[in-house]
Chains A and B, each alone.
Chain A
Amino acid sequence: MSYFFQLVISGVVVGSIYALSALGFVLIYKSSRVLNIAHGQIIAAGAFITYGLTVWANLPIYLSFVLSMILTFFLAMSVERIFLRRLIGEPIISVIMVTIGLMSILDGLIYLTPFGTENFSFPPFLPVTPIAFFGVSISWTQLVGVIVTFTLIAGFSWFFKKSTVGISMRAVSDDQLASMSIGISVPRVFGLAWAMAGLSAAAAGGIIGNITGLNFDTLHAFGIVVFPVVILGGLDSILGAVVAGIIMGLIQQFASGYLDGNWGLNGTGEVLPYIILLIILLFKPHGLFGIHEIERV
């Protein structure tokens, strides 16, 4: 039984990070209908910036975590301003091609730095002995990571529900013409959506980096698992991203915990998200919480 709870805990840890990564992706899609293929690269960039500030600039890790979020906020905002702004009104396929190009450029830039090929790990700043209770253990980095993740998700939800900027973002995702006519600047909202996505991606990157170590492939993989997560949750639902993120984390952990090694199976945790992706697309293409577009004639 304690094995089961151990899997639940690691599932929730990984799942909450998926949720945070998916949040940024959904944010961009929800406001501007752009699929940001380069999201994984932004997550990785956030993680590397955090590392650089902590180790090379010798800043306290909490400070560099926040600084990296701020830097990525502006980085993503300028990406929108420079590349995506001029594509407003262009066909969706051109926009996707641009984000694919963006992915390659960021990949190339990251491979120019030592982070592209080498592995790094954050200096330990929390107690290394895991906390154990009832035969289940959780490491301090995991615990702090989960707490930070849930705090950020709660903060984002509050922001969208209550703040004026958040409300104008939701207005834009509902009806752009109407939003413009009541005095909301739609390009500004797009820029902010990217900026917030960058900020959440950097946070996710920093947390992943602390839990699993800094490896470009691992970080990049988080950007890809985002796809099954958002498809499961519904592309335009923030709640969906959070719920589906955690579901996906649990499914992965249970799969690798119970299936791997039996019946000659291996690596089920890596494959299962994509099998779910296909099943969801076949039977419930709007996901769990996505909006069904019903057109009345």
Chain B
Amino acid sequence: MKSDHEFLSLADAYIRGEMNHQDATAFENRLLSDRESSEKFNEHKEFIARLTGYGKRIDLQQKLDNIHSTLDIPEIIKNAIPHKPLIVRLWDKYKINSLVAASVAILAVFTTLWITGFYSKENSSQYVALRRDMNSIRQNVKAQNALIKDINKNQSGNINPSHYGATGFALSSNGYVMTTYHVIKDADSVYLQNNVGNSYKVKVVFTDPAYDIAVLQIIDKDFKDFGSLPYTFKQNPADIGEDVYTIGFPREEAVYGRGYLSSNTGYSGDTVAYQVSIPVNPGNSGGPVLDNRGNIIGVINSKQTETDGAAFAIKSDYVLKAIAAIPEDSLEKKIVINKRNTLANLNRTEQIKKVQDFIYMIKVY
């Protein structure tokens, strides 16, 4: 015990450099010669190193705290926090997430639209005017729609090189014929062909784009007179449910179509037109809609593409109003609307026989 104490005192003195040269050399020699002393010394030295390491650490910590206390901490914090507002920082952080979410949403929307067949329809509008494009067997609905859209803003329009077919009917016996405006609006020339096959050149004498009405006059010198018209225009509104029919030229031959009046308004609540449930096709445009008694209640002008049997006909009273609005001096002859109905007591087939002589195919070039 005593010797251990003395040894460690010497060791401490040696480590601290407090020994004189002679003693130090003697101590070193002792360590070299005695293995036990050497081990004991190293052990002690290591422990003292730990102790001084501890002291140094405490000292360093103290120094660091002193330095820290001299700093302007609020200023450092202010500079450390980005100056972007919260929303920008959130955006930076969640940018990727939100972009991914948005992409997924957009993809889902368009995939759904695609799957449900939204894009398989060529036109988004459900409304289609009924003139027949004679140049293509396949009815180009899209082109027609584009033409309809242009009705009001572009009267001269782009001249469409193709020509159209539609229907018209005699308005008065002296050669006036009624059809729809959209049929003849871009026309270079208009011809009329009756059911016997005779063609007459006509000119457009009046148009009313708002009601989709056009009045043509036969200017061919071969033409004399239609003869007396069998039908009249119905002055009063027709009733829903009434049996109606039309004759038109969706192809080169006259085609009869029957149905009933299904609504008092047209496409999207248009009060100018009736909705009639008659199968109609491009080419039926301009055809008369007659009731059981042979009164014209309207003029076919369009149909709804999405709905079966929803065709639209301009109401006869608007047709009459439009005709009445034609300035008299713009016409060569007066339009005399027939007031005597000779169809009233005939059955349907006989009515048709009589009526079809006054219904014509309109050819537009």
> Do A and B form a real pair?
no
